[in-house]
Amino acid sequence: MLTQDEKLNPVSLDTLCAALCRALGVHAPDTAAAPNQELLSYLQGRTADRIFMYNPDAVAQWIYRKYPQLFKEAVNICDVEIPMQTVMPSVTPVCFGTMYTGAQPAVHGIQKYEKPVIRIQSIFDMLIAAGKKCAIVADTECSMSHIFNDRKMDYYFYNGYLQATAKAFELIKEDQYDMIVLYNGNYDSIMHKTGPESLEALSEARANTECFASLYYAIKENWKNHNTLLGFAMDHGCHEIDGNCGSHGLDMPEDLNICHLYKYIEREAQEQTK
C-alpha cells in the first residue's frame, strides 16, 4: 500500500499556527512552536487580512501522491505544498488541537480521542484579540464543532457536511469574516468503512478537491478587496486495516505524513495597479 512515504516528514504540524498568525499580522499564541519556514518563504513578508482554512479530514499524503489526478484542481490553484508530520496520537481532535494552537498535545491537553474545549491560546483567540471576526463551519458531531468552542466567534454546525459546505459559501458571499474554517469529514468517514483506496473513499477525496476549487473561485469573486490566504489543510493521514477498512491514530508515515496546499489570493485592486 505504501508508495513514497516511507520516511516521516521532518517538520511538525505544530509550526503551522505561528506561520498563519505571522501571515495575518497577529501575535502567535504563547505556546506555539516557531513558524513554518516553508510557508513564510512562500509569503515573502506579504500579509493577508483574511484566511480561509479548508479542512478535509484524513486525506493522507500517500493518497495525495499516489492519486494526483484526484487533486489536480487544488494543485493547479495553489502555489506551494507544505509537507508536515502531524502529532500523536494521529486522531482528529489531537491534530486539530495542534493545528490551531501550534502546541503539542501535552500542552493543549487533548492526548486521545476526546473533544473537550481547548483552553490555551489558539489562532482564533489571537485574531479575536486583534478585533477580527472568526467562524467555524462544521458537522455537529465532529471535533471542530467542540474543541474551539466558548470563544467570541461564530459557530455554524450542521448535521451533514454538504449543509456545512453550503453555509461556508454563504458566508464567503456575505463577506463579513476575517477567518473561516470549513471542516469536511466525508473522506474520513467513508475511508473508515471501505478502506483508504476504495472507489467510494477516493470519490470523497475528489469531492474535497472540487469543493476546495469552488471555494477558491467564490473567494476570488466575493473578497476582491482583501488579501486572502487559502489553505487545503488536513489533520492526519490514514492506513488500510483488515476487512477492507481504514484507520489512523498510529505512529506510522501513512498516518502522520500530511501535505498542505496554500494559495495567497491578492486583492484585485493591487493586481490592477501593477
- Short-list 169, 139, 131, CA closest to 156: 139
Minimum gap (Å) between residue 142 Cβ and Zn ion: 8
In the complex with Zn ion, the residue whose CB is nearer, 143 or 209, is: 143
The total number of residues shown for the chain amounts to 274
The residue nearest Zn ion at its CB is: 92
Cα(143)–Cα(139) distance, integer angstroms? 9
In the complex with Zn ion, the residue whose CB is nearer, 102 or 249, is: 249
In the complex with Zn ion, the residue whose CB is nearer, 235 or 254, is: 235
Minimum gap (Å) between residue 235 Cβ and Zn ion: 4
Minimum gap (Å) between residue 70 Cβ and Zn ion: 18
Residues 6+ apart with CB under 8 A from 186: 56, 57, 161, 204, 207, 208
Minimum gap (Å) between residue 185 Cβ and Zn ion: 7
Minimum gap (Å) between residue 96 Cβ and Zn ion: 7
Please count the other Cβ atoms lying within 10 Å of the Cβ belonging to residue 134. Answer: 23
Site size for Zn ion (CB under 5 A): 4
Cα(174)–Cα(42) distance, integer angstroms? 29
Pairing of strands 50-56, 228-232: parallel
Tell me: does residue 235 bind Zn ion (CB under 5 A): yes
Q: Which of residues 29-58 bind Zn ion (CB under 5 A)?
A: 57-58
Minimum gap (Å) between residue 90 Cβ and Zn ion: 8
In the complex with Zn ion, the residue whose CB is nearer, 63 or 172, is: 63
In the complex with Zn ion, the residue whose CB is nearer, 19 or 59, is: 59
Cα separations (Å) of 147 from 88, 101, 170, 237? 17, 11, 24, 20
In the complex with Zn ion, the residue whose CB is nearer, 92 or 208, is: 92
Cα separations (Å) of 146 from 8, 61, 119, 164? 29, 26, 12, 15
Tell me: does residue 255 bind Zn ion (CB under 5 A): no
Q: Which of residues 55-74 bind Zn ion (CB under 5 A)?
A: 57-58
Please count the other Cβ atoms lying within 10 Å of the Cβ belonging to residue 42. Answer: 20
In the complex with Zn ion, the residue whose CB is nearer, 128 or 238, is: 238
Q: Which of residues 80-119 bind Zn ion (CB under 5 A)?
A: 92
Minimum gap (Å) between residue 270 Cβ and Zn ion: 36
Tell me: does residue 178 bind Zn ion (CB under 5 A): no
Residue with cell 473508515: 192
Binding site for Zn ion (CB under 5 A): 57-58, 92, 235
